[in-house]
Structure 1
């Protein structure tokens, strides 16, 4: 029995097929699911075998092939359902783990920050190569720059602290860039801040963390946990 024959027989056959369809609807099962279609197919197959022409019996190979196709579809549906459940579980675990970050210090790959009157801004420079000089250029929203020398360093992380009182910086928005020795590309900058709030978007997606001095950023942009 081909799929076209099965569909035609489903539309024209009453009795057992109608009873099966009614049972499916009464139990609240999706009539279009692979399991429901397989049950209906078996009922129709039995009805057709019982009413076959003894002189021209049906070929059982087609039935076996059709049942195998239903089994494959049902396995695919089960796999899809398991994957969806796993995704929901992972999302819930991510939300729970993100909520535990409130009050903790994290590091984010960024170069813009809000500086207060007293609270310093800390972070680190990721040096890929050793440099004979490492300088921070701290630029305010009006384009005025202040240089903070960090000295010579080997390859690796270089910690820094931007103290507004020591450098005479006023509260406001700033951008930080790094100067290294000639011939080297500007390294990456990580800025630190305490997580003040975690927000879950109503339309889905990754949780957003509100970090002091850095604003609201996606959870996946955090590169390090802990000071």
Structure 2
């Protein structure tokens, strides 16, 4: 009858005069931690030159370096957690805007099948605000004039008709505004329009709102929510 040997792999290596590989050996670390730093300092104290021993100033300096490194590591961990928390909070803030209308800077105005479109400018003072509406081909559709009684927000509204009173096709139109003060000086103005938020997008550099008819705008562009 044949007998099956139960000799272990360790016995085989011993019989050959070899040392078995340690399968439980820990993986080498690629970075030093606080325990490693203390171990190095202990070895340094043990092997220092008796004729030139380390003075207290050097030891205190090394311990201070160790504390600084540990503090920076803890700070990085805290900042990373804070960033993750802020990112989650920003997503919730953006989701809460879905379905609401926001006021954002834009040189484009969207005209629907019915009704008109509106926007605002920040007038530098009393005077006349002129808003020029042009189509996709750059042709002037109409021009609106609104009186600004003082510095501040001045609203304008377009009824969707051209200069002859005819209803124009729905779509995107470009707007440009200027302000003429009481002395006749003309100043170009930035225009702002309202648009509904359809959804939000999380980008690598922040949160973006997808606005109906206007496209995508960073959440930082929002001036007012209604």
- Identify whether the pair has TM-score above 0.5, normalized to the shorter chain: yes
Pick one of 89, 104, 116 that aligns with 2:85. Answer: 89
Report if aligned partners of 2:123, 2:129 keep a CA contact under 8 Å in 1.
no
**SS where residue 133 of structure 2 aligns?**
strand
Q: Are the structure 2 counterparts of residues 33 and 116 from structure 1 closer, same or farther at C-alpha, using a change threshold of 3 Å? A: farther
Q: TM-score, normalised by structure 1?
A: 0.74
Q: Within the alignment, does 1:101 sit opposite 2:103 as a pair?
A: no
Unaligned residue ranges in structure 2 (runs of 5+): 1-24
The 4+ residue runs of structure 1 with deviation greater than 6 A are none
Which protein is bigger by CA-based radius of gyration?
2
Q: Are the structure 2 counterparts of residues 80 and 119 from structure 1 closer, same or farther at C-alpha, using a change threshold of 3 Å? A: farther
Provide the aligned length of Structure 1 versus Structure 2: 194
**SS where residue 103 of structure 1 aligns?**
coil
Q: Are the structure 2 counterparts of residues 127 and 152 from structure 1 closer, same or farther at C-alpha, using a change threshold of 3 Å? A: closer
Q: Are the structure 2 counterparts of residues 158 and 73 from structure 1 closer, same or farther at C-alpha, using a change threshold of 3 Å? A: same
Root-mean-square deviation (Å): 2.6
Q: Measure how far apart 1:113 and its partner are.
A: 2.9
Residues 106-121 of structure 1: pairs in structure 2 closer than 5 A? 106-121=102-117
**SS where residue 220 of structure 2 aligns?**
helix
Partner residue in 1 for 2:135 = 140
Unaligned residue ranges in structure 1 (runs of 5+): 1-24
Report if aligned partners of 1:122, 1:192 keep a CA contact under 8 Å in 2.
yes
Q: Are the structure 2 counterparts of residues 73 and 142 from structure 1 closer, same or farther at C-alpha, using a change threshold of 3 Å? A: same
Report if aligned partners of 1:29, 1:36 keep a CA contact under 8 Å in 2.
no
Partner residue in 2 for 1:173 = 172
**SS where residue 223 of structure 2 aligns?**
strand
The structure richer in helix per residue is 1
Partner residue in 1 for 2:145 = 149
Q: Are the structure 2 counterparts of residues 68 and 102 from structure 1 closer, same or farther at C-alpha, using a change threshold of 3 Å? A: same
Q: Measure how far apart 1:34 and its partner are.
A: 4.2
Partner residue in 2 for 1:11 = none
